[in-house]
Amino acid sequence: MRQLSAPQLRDWLADAGRTKPLLLDVREPWEFETCRIAGSLSMPMRGIPARYHELKRDEEIVMVCHHGARSFQAGMFLEQMGFTRIINLQGGVAAWARDVDPAMPTY
């Protein structure tokens, strides 16, 4: 699975000439309410086996969690289900807050 740093994701999202990825946030609802990257879709990790059919298998999907471990596991599951363009956000929203948006609330 490809890995992407928070600054790399920031640059991608800011590039008007590039198709935006789906930002799939696999954290719990309370975590998502506390802080999130704008435009993220909340799909808690435990619900992915029941909901992955809602996603496009050929779409670029950036997996997001708090520090990058849960999103990596969820991304591995999606790859096993035939998804071909899964990317994990290294360091998760914690890295985003540290490296891209210092005003983002943290926990």
Q: Annotated catalytic, 35?
A: no
2-99 has CATH 3.40.250.10 classification: yes
From first to last of its 107 residues, the chain has per-residue pLDDT tens of 999 999 999 999 999 999 999 999 999 999 999 999 999 999 999 999 999 999 999 999 999 999 999 999 999 999 999 999 999 999 999 999 999 999 999 99
Q: Where are the domains of the chain?
A: 2-99
pTM score of the predicted model: 0.97
CA pseudo-torsion sign 107, 100, 35, 37:
negative
Contact 78, 86 (CB under 8 A): yes
pLDDT value for 52: 97
Q: Which of 6, 26, 63, 65 is catalytic?
A: 65
Identity of residue 6: A
